[in-house]
């Protein structure tokens, strides 16, 4: 378990903490939803799914995070989460993730924080999870991070490769913070600021199968042409 160096009340739960005997107090208080999230990560995110629409695991990122002990959870209890307090909580964990990543060497890219909301009623989820993700997304992307929303649904977004696949379904509502990767462009292509942030980080790392998609988005958004890919790019 990690305690924030400047804010002792903020802790990050590591996977190993869920297997301790006795359980640490922050884990004991919410052990059932925390274990449900961990099981979901292992049994859903880290495996293929017949409805996904592509080969590979549902999340190409999660297994690497678990394997490197870079997968952290924290709990935001209660139903009341005013937007200003929630924004501060998310930005705090954004900055904490960036700080942790600086000290993880080769594992830095896999550092992940899941903020779990175990006490939300279904009626709370759109405002606390979906709208918060929408409101804060750009403040993560500019730092090279993704903020993802997961809950029991119905998810507002379908899968990238199969629109009918509820890729963001999760048994416990949560917001996930992770590092951006070049294939995240599909999640960013409709917003000019997010596209600029993506290009600033990945212009020379864009996978070949995405280069034309990126060029079209740049043109449609009226952005200045930027180098895309490598040799032969315009």
Residue 160 has pLDDT above 70, yes or no: no
Binned at pLDDT 50, 70 and 90, residue 106 comes out as: confident
26 shares a domain with 140: yes
H and E: helices and strands count for the chain: 8, 6
The closest alpha carbon to 85, from 128, 119, 118, 141, belongs to: 128
Strand partners, 71: 112
Residue 158 has pLDDT above 80, yes or no: no
161 shares a domain with 84: yes
Strand partners, 113: 72, 177
204 shares a domain with 105: no
**Higher-scoring residue by pLDDT: 197, 166:** 197
Please name the residues in contact with 219: beta carbons below 8 A apart, sequence gap of 6 or more.
none
127 alpha-carbon distance from chain centroid: 18
Q: Taking residues 110-123, report their average pLDDT.
A: 96
Quote the domain boundaries for residue 150: 2-180
Does the residue 233 lie in any domain? no
**Higher-scoring residue by pLDDT: 7, 77:** 77
* Overall domain count for the chain: 2
Q: Taking residues 67-74, report their average pLDDT.
A: 96
pLDDT for the residue 232: 37
Identify whether the C-beta of residue 146 lies closer than 8 Å to the C-beta of residue 179. Answer: yes
pTM, entire model? 0.91
pLDDT for the residue 89: 97
Does the residue 232 lie in any domain? no
């Amino acid at each position: 378990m990690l305690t924030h160096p400047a804010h002792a009340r903020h802790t990050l739960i590591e996977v190993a903490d869920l297997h301790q005997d006795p359980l640490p107090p922050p884990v004991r208080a919410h052990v059932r939803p925390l274990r449900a999230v961990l099981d979901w990560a292992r049994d859903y995110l880290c495996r293929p799914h017949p409805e996904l629409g592509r080969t590979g695991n549902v999340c190409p990122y999660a297994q690497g995070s678990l394997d490197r002990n870079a997968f952290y959870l924290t709990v935001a209890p209660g139903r009341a989460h005013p937007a200003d307090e929630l924004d501060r909580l998310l930005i705090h964990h954004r900055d904490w993730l960036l700080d942790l990543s600086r000290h993880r060497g080769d594992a830095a890219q896999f550092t992940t924080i899941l903020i779990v909301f175990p006490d939300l009623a279904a009626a709370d989820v759109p405002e606390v999870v979906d709208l918060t993700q929408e409101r804060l997304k750009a403040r993560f992307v500019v730092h090279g991070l993704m903020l993802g929303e997961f809950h029991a649904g119905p998810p507002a977004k379908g899968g990238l490769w199969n629109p009918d696949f509820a890729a963001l379904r999760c048994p416990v509502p949560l917001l996930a913070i992770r590092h951006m990767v070049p294939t995240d462009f599909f999640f960013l292509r409709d917003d000019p600021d997010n596209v600029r942030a993506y290009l600033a980080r990945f212009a020379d790392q864009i996978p070949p199968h995405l280069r034309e998609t990126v060029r079209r988005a740049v043109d449609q958004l009226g952005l200045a042409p930027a180098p895309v890919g490598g040799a032969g790019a315009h």
